Structure 1
Amino acid sequence: MMNGNRISRSSSQSSIYQDTSDSHDSEKLSSRVGERVGIATQAYAKKVTSLIQLMTDLRASGAQALVDLPRIVVIGNQSAGKSSLVEAISGITVPRAAGTCTRCPMECRLQNVEGPWRCQVLLRYERDEHGNRLEEVREEKFGDVLTDRSLLEDMLRRAQLAILNPSVQASRFVTYDLSDDSKNPLGSERQLQFSCNVVCMDLQSPEVTDLSFIDLPGIISNVAQGEDRNNIELIKNLVREHIQGNALILLTITMRDDIENQSAAFLAKEADPDGVRTIGALTKPDTLQDGEHGPWMEILTGRRHPLTHGYFVTKQPGIQDLKEKLHHGAARERENTFFNTDKHWSGVSNDIRNRMGVPKLTTELSNLLGQLIATTVPVLRESARSQLTKAKEDLIGLPPPPPKHPAAELLRLVSEFSQDVKSSVMGFEGHEELIRQCLPAYTQFKLDILSTRPQFSALEKKSGDKRDLDNITFEGEDEAKVKAVREPVYVDEVKDLIKKFMTRQLPDSIPEAAKTALIRQSFEDWPMHLQNCFETVREAFIKRVGEIVKEHFERYTNGGLYELIRDLIEQEFEKVTKNMHSRMEWLIELEELPYTQNDHYLASLSDKYLAHFKKRRQDCSILGDAHAALSKLAEVGLPGITKEDLPKLLGPDIYEKEMIVMAKVCAYFWVSYKRVIDDFPRIIDLDFLRRFSKRTQQALIDGLELGGDDSTRRAASYLSEDPNTVLRRKDLESTKTMLEGILTKLFRFNML
């Protein structure tokens, strides 16, 4: 956001009028006859010479249609003194004849150079006669370079006639007799009343600044008899278009009419509601009568209609001065004299005095334009780079032109697609997303399986105890945090189960069927957890493959290739999914009968669980009422026995056999758990992900019938191009070429 010196808005601001008798001479506005126009004397001018030329080159090439080029735009109501203000700022004389400079925009490109005055007038065509934007903007010279400044005004009038009469070759107007006031000059089919195309002026002189600005037609509220009333809105829309974005709005306001009645002020407010890009230029202060100055003083001090950069008041040559063709230096001297001698202006406060006269206005424009320039080039680069990237992406997104060898091209596409699927499955560099999505599913599967571990209590069911195994694991703190979901099985229930499976076994033997039944109870929920894990991976894989299909084939919709590829991929997913269901059934069946060769691990865990169960029973059998037991022992003549000696006095536990079964079942769960949490992800990887990857390419080749006798014709049909795509590609390539040219110029530019 641009910042500017802002008049204080406080209520304690000094009064409008003050005694300046002691300092009046030192505070007078200074201006010398023959002095360069104000902006040319500013320090920024030398720094931005190359930027002004850069902006000129970019605008001439039509770059403004793609990037928001910085500019000063001069707007105002008709007869607001805008032309005089443009002359005062630029040091040129613009056409003033009726119906000339009010009919199309004029772009002034001023360059401060040593040497003789010279000017080249040009025409820039941006739109056709119906107002539609041209595909390619063109700028062409209008006549030879002028070295006599007295010829410029008439040349600008002729240039505008060329713009307004597009049916006549522009060069014919270079020597056109301006005394001919016919409505259809040079046999024109129709003379436009207004045009969006631009008369440009490249002016070089030691008396001008390095500056570029656009002078727009004055805003009108009525039209002459016979003219189209739509021209009122046409001019407003032209102004709206130019003052959007990266534009510094120089708003010309005549003091002959209330500001509320001036449409230009409304349009500036509409485009710049916060007033951060607008600077007001009040004109014709010499037309005010006694008693009319107060409201304008309030505007100048920011009490009414405030703008961030405030307002300036300027006094331009009158009708007699114009007839005398007053030099701009002399005009500034007369302006200075007016403000220093007029009773309403000579005694104003310093705040207002600093905003009186064209030199003060041009100084502010210099500051604001300097800030705008300083921030513009990086923004333009980024904008052009972003648009170029988008254009390139859009070009890539288009179907390529039909290849000379369609079958070979289609085979290449299938091969590249298959390779990308493989890269995602294997997690190669740059293709890690699928594997990253699978890992959480495998972790959740591990936790789900762990939650199914058996819950045994060493106590009898009547105790209601459920505390045995919730926090009893021997594998680490993380696994201990996983809550078991199964209901506890009590030691007496295990005893009943063993009895149920007893047949021909010897006394104290434990039937294998009993242990197997207890083990299988923990596996009851495993099919559900296997299915959940697989579905999570399957959904992620289908999504990723769909994205790869889209990346490679979405552009080929015209010949139906995209839809056919999607159908073939869906069929292949059905096949590998069916195979995975079989593999899950196989894995569950594999775990139905207990088996392991991990004897040491099984025995170690069994011992730990058995020790836990025994201690639990001992603690509850005697140690719960240890004091009473020790007292009884002392009564029967066994004093000196301690609490620690009590377990030694216990005989064999009646549930010894059951606790052994419980310990082995718990230990075996861990053996099976560690096995399945590794095996199942590997089965998914091998029999689903990698199986699909290996089969895809051949499945597509077969489905597309690329090996048949008629494969070339079919491939050509699949890769056929929609006619609209041809036009789209042409437009994108044109945009790409222009943006590349813009970026080349921008990156070559270095701020001095």
Structure 2
Amino acid sequence: MSNRQRSLSLTMPLELLRVLCGDTVTVTVIYNRSMEPKAIVSPAERTKALTSSFDAEVRPLIDLVDKLRGYGLDRDIHLPSVAVIGDQSAGKSSVLEAISGVQLPRGTGIVTRCPLEMRMKHSEDKDMWEGKIMYKDKHDMHHEEVILNRESVGDLVRKAQNKMTDGAKGISDNLITLEVTSSDVPDLTVIDLPGIARNAVDGQPVDIEARIKDMIRKYVKRQETIILAVLQCNVDIATCEALKMAKEFDGEGGRTLGVLTKPDLLDKGAETSVMRILNNMEFTLSKGYIIVKCRGQEAVSEGQSLKQALDVEEDFFRSHRHFSSLRPSQWGIPNLSERLSRELKKHIKKLLPELKEDVRRKLLETEKQLHDLGEDPPETASEKRQMALQMVTKFINIATALTTGQRCDDTKFPPEINNLYSNSRRSFTELIKTAERKQPDTKNHELRTDLQQRMDSSRGREFCNFGGKFELVESYARDYISKLEAPALQCFSAVHSMTTEILKIVAEKCFEKFPDFAQRAKDVIMKTRKDTNHECKEDIQSYFEMENLVYSQDKTYGVELRSEEEKKRKEKDEERERKQKNATKFHIQIDSDSENDEDVNGVDKVLMSLTSYYLVAARRLCDVIPMIIQQHVFRKQVKGMQILLMDIASDERTMVHIQEDPDMAYMRNECKSRHQRLLLAEEELDKI
């Protein structure tokens, strides 16, 4: 080895080598596979590093998500994205400036006041630069403007924020979309969110911190979001709200990439702590950390360009006594850009199958909702009349089906409407039970005594076995029947009220598109209810007047009487047998005369007659009353509604009521809009 050659460590700076060895330096590199090579990038190649992530897969995938977001699909489905969060003045906008090559609004306090979606598209044309900004102002007016030069981007973003918020200090949840196409940007889309402010300043809402955090949570809580947490090197990382929020929704750190900024502001000796963070030894993130140095306000004021800032950044890290030992992939805007582009591509590919499934599922749900909402409302008088007649016909058909015990399987209607007939039957059954409860007990001693006294008091000069007993039977029968009139009217009232409520539900659903017409239908229901109520009550009361006749066909009454006589005979036989057993057991002689005692006065026969007639009358009443109720409530009322509604539907003056509810119209338009964007999304996804 000559005196001009030396064996020196590669860790020694190149300039120092020249001082020690002269202009000609021969460097022998001993390659260690355990060490990552630290390639030196020439100034000419440095700006190209921003586009190093471009490949045949990245652009189509990012374009796909951008298109889906452009269609408004993020209103229905969470889309893969990169959300940039950080404490106020952490350097988020500076990082995005360096990546995108455009200057964003700068200043103190909250500079980013609306979510800013930056769509960066790489172009092979070195001279190309195109920009476009899109947003909706606070009045929901859409704005779209072509950007002529990159220097005006900051002013246009600030102008958009002012139009979207109340005053220069307000914030908005609505998105500003900034598209940039250039040869020095990567294929990447990120969403910059407002910095986390701790205190409100003049003109800001007092709850500014809570509002900003709520906005950030909407993005970072989604599993589809990659979180880019921007943190200042010169601030205690444990106090950074951005990292706390990232940890809250991404506990394992699998979706979070940390970016450390402002390394040039570190106090001497603090570098060791930052190195531990960068090496994932403090607050572990699966994606790790990258450190960057962006332009400060002073550099901007001095006119330093973004390309010059990249040179300054590289010189800073390569010559730094601590950071120069980092792997190249751990520092610098170019590496951050490449890493983000790569991570977003992987993230989109991973989520594509689930995204396709979500779109298909939402599409089916939307198509069903559109079907339920029905077609667009008619415009001409003829079309309105035809629709009114169709709606009335449907309403009457459903009402008829329900009141005849059939089911309506249209899922548009609540299932409880199908319970009308079965619940009515329960009311009819309850009437039977009431009739049984109120039937006098003919074995009751008090009834027997009362009957005996009344028979004795009504007896004339006839022999004891010739009493005229029918008047007594008739009196007891009328008394029993009168006790059932109130329960019968109560049964009618229950069925009538239930029917009215169900008819109202059916009317609301059948005419829901036209609230005014629905109200007319409800008015018809109430009118026919009133008519039915009066007529049905009259028929029920008339029926009870007929029951006062106390009449039955001999054959009908005879069947019940013979049944009661047979029952009485069996009871006597059982009683005789029981007495005989007891007499035998205790050696007692039974008086044969007592066994053959006859009901000389006929009290038992009268009681059997009463029991027989109670059964005949109760059975007849519990059949006829439900039939009267069904005739009026189910048949006549439905028929009356049909006549009145058909007249209304045919009336020229009714057409004014065929006006769709504004909320329903809005819902249909929203549903159509969602259906359209889901169809477009499905078409785009099928191309991948």
Task: Give the TM-score normalised by the residue count of structure 2.
Answer: 0.68
Seen in structure 2, the aligned counterparts of structure 1 residues 506 and 311 have a Cα distance that, compared at 3 Å, is farther
Unaligned runs of 5+ in 2: 1-30, 162-166, 296-303, 409-416
Whether 2:552 is the aligned partner of 1:569: answer no
| Match in the other structure for 1:441 | 427
Q: 1:132 aligns with which of 139, 146, 149?
A: 139
- What's the CA shift string for 1:245-302, capped at 9, x where partnerless? 5444322111211346656557768x95989897251414674642575599589879
User: How far, CA to CA, are the matches of 1:632 and 1:25 in structure 2?
Assistant: 126
- What's the CA shift string for 1:352-377, capped at 9, x where partnerless? 99xxx958888877776666555445
What amino acid does structure 1 have at the position aligned with 2:192?
Answer: D
Seen in structure 2, the aligned counterparts of structure 1 residues 250 and 67 have a Cα distance that, compared at 3 Å, is same
Higher mean Cα deviation, 358-367 or 497-506? 358-367
- What's the CA shift string for 1:102-149, capped at 9, x where partnerless? 697653446899x88998845342222xx3333xx5767657xxxxxx
Match of 1:133, SS?
coil
| Match in the other structure for 1:244 | 218
- What's the CA shift string for 1:64-112, capped at 9, x where partnerless? 4565444221122465353675589xxx553358749969765344689
> 1:574-613 residue pairs with structure 2 within 5 A?
574-592=530-548, 593-596=550-553, 597-598=555-556, 601-603=559-561, 605-613=563-571
> 1:29-40 residue pairs with structure 2 within 5 A?
none
- What's the CA shift string for 1:300-357, capped at 9, x where partnerless? 87987x9xx6783212257799765759998999699966837xx99xxxxx99xxx9
Q: Residue 518 of structure 1: CA displacement?
A: 4.1
- What's the CA shift string for 1:533-586, capped at 9, x where partnerless? 11110111111222234345566566xx55555444323212211111122123
> 1:368-379 residue pairs with structure 2 within 5 A?
375-379=354-358
Retained in 2: the 8 A contact 1:572–1:692?
yes
User: How far, CA to CA, are the matches of 2:591 and 2:152 in structure 1?
Assistant: 121
Retained in 2: the 8 A contact 1:501–1:514?
no
| Match in the other structure for 1:508 | 465
Whether 2:255 is the aligned partner of 1:316: answer no
| Match in the other structure for 2:132 | 123
Q: 1:677 aligns with which of 614, 622, 626?
A: 622
Whether 2:645 is the aligned partner of 1:736: answer no
| Match in the other structure for 2:178 | 199
Retained in 2: the 8 A contact 1:392–1:736?
no
User: How far, CA to CA, are the matches of 1:387 and 1:276 in structure 2?
Assistant: 35
Q: Residue 237 of structure 1: CA displacement?
A: 6.0
Match of 2:643, SS?
helix
User: How far, CA to CA, are the matches of 1:291 and 1:548 in structure 2?
Assistant: 74
| Match in the other structure for 2:235 | 257
> 1:272-351 residue pairs with structure 2 within 5 A?
279=256, 281-284=258-261, 287=266, 289-290=268-269, 293=272, 312-317=288-293, 341=325
What amino acid does structure 2 have at the position aligned with 1:127?
Answer: K
Seen in structure 2, the aligned counterparts of structure 1 residues 544 and 402 have a Cα distance that, compared at 3 Å, is farther
Seen in structure 2, the aligned counterparts of structure 1 residues 236 and 537 have a Cα distance that, compared at 3 Å, is closer
User: How far, CA to CA, are the matches of 1:603 and 1:51 in structure 2?
Assistant: 91
Retained in 1: the 8 A contact 2:482–2:544?
no
User: How far, CA to CA, are the matches of 1:268 and 1:744 in structure 2?
Assistant: 34
> 1:92-111 residue pairs with structure 2 within 5 A?
92-96=99-103, 99=106, 107-109=117-119
Retained in 2: the 8 A contact 1:418–1:697?
yes
| Match in the other structure for 2:192 | 215
Higher mean Cα deviation, 685-694 or 584-593? 584-593
Match of 2:596, SS?
coil
| Match in the other structure for 2:403 | 425
RMSD: 5.6
What amino acid does structure 1 have at the position aligned with 2:178?
Answer: V
Higher mean Cα deviation, 253-262 or 277-286? 277-286
Higher mean Cα deviation, 672-681 or 92-101? 92-101
| Match in the other structure for 1:531 | 489
Q: For CA contacts below 8 A with separation 6 or more, give which structure has more relative contact order.
A: 1
Unaligned runs of 5+ in 1: 1-23, 144-154, 168-189, 347-351, 462-487, 634-645
What amino acid does structure 2 have at the position aligned with 1:314?
Answer: I
Higher mean Cα deviation, 25-34 or 526-535? 25-34
Match of 1:132, SS?
coil
What amino acid does structure 1 have at the position aligned with 2:481?
Answer: F
What amino acid does structure 2 have at the position aligned with 1:673?
Answer: A
- What's the CA shift string for 1:193-221, capped at 9, x where partnerless? 9995321246899x967x53223466689
Retained in 1: the 8 A contact 2:278–2:289?
no
Whether 2:651 is the aligned partner of 1:651: answer no
Seen in structure 2, the aligned counterparts of structure 1 residues 219 and 672 have a Cα distance that, compared at 3 Å, is closer
Retained in 2: the 8 A contact 1:251–1:280?
yes
| Match in the other structure for 2:82 | 72
User: How far, CA to CA, are the matches of 2:570 and 2:316 in structure 1?
Assistant: 106
Identity %: 17
What amino acid does structure 2 have at the position aligned with 1:75?
Answer: I
Whether 2:381 is the aligned partner of 1:403: answer yes
User: How far, CA to CA, are the matches of 1:141 and 1:228 in structure 2?
Assistant: 34
Seen in structure 2, the aligned counterparts of structure 1 residues 387 and 97 have a Cα distance that, compared at 3 Å, is closer
- What's the CA shift string for 1:3-45, capped at 9, x where partnerless? xxxxxxxxxxxxxxxxxxxxx9777668877999899699xx9
| Match in the other structure for 2:636 | 691
User: How far, CA to CA, are the matches of 1:563 and 1:699 in structure 2?
Assistant: 14
User: How far, CA to CA, are the matches of 2:95 and 2:314 in structure 1?
Assistant: 15
User: How far, CA to CA, are the matches of 2:637 and 2:343 in structure 1?
Assistant: 70
Match of 1:735, SS?
helix
Seen in structure 2, the aligned counterparts of structure 1 residues 520 and 102 have a Cα distance that, compared at 3 Å, is closer
| Match in the other structure for 2:439 | 453
Seen in structure 2, the aligned counterparts of structure 1 residues 730 and 685 have a Cα distance that, compared at 3 Å, is closer
User: How far, CA to CA, are the matches of 1:497 and 1:299 in structure 2?
Assistant: 111
Match of 1:200, SS?
strand
Seen in structure 2, the aligned counterparts of structure 1 residues 520 and 38 have a Cα distance that, compared at 3 Å, is farther
Seen in structure 2, the aligned counterparts of structure 1 residues 362 and 63 have a Cα distance that, compared at 3 Å, is closer
Seen in structure 2, the aligned counterparts of structure 1 residues 539 and 731 have a Cα distance that, compared at 3 Å, is closer
Q: Residue 690 of structure 1: CA displacement?
A: 0.3
What amino acid does structure 2 have at the position aligned with 1:535?
Answer: S
- What's the CA shift string for 1:683-716, capped at 9, x where partnerless? 21113320111122334566x5x88xxx53x334
| Match in the other structure for 2:508 | 550
- What's the CA shift string for 1:654-679, capped at 9, x where partnerless? 44843344344334433333333333
Match of 2:191, SS?
strand
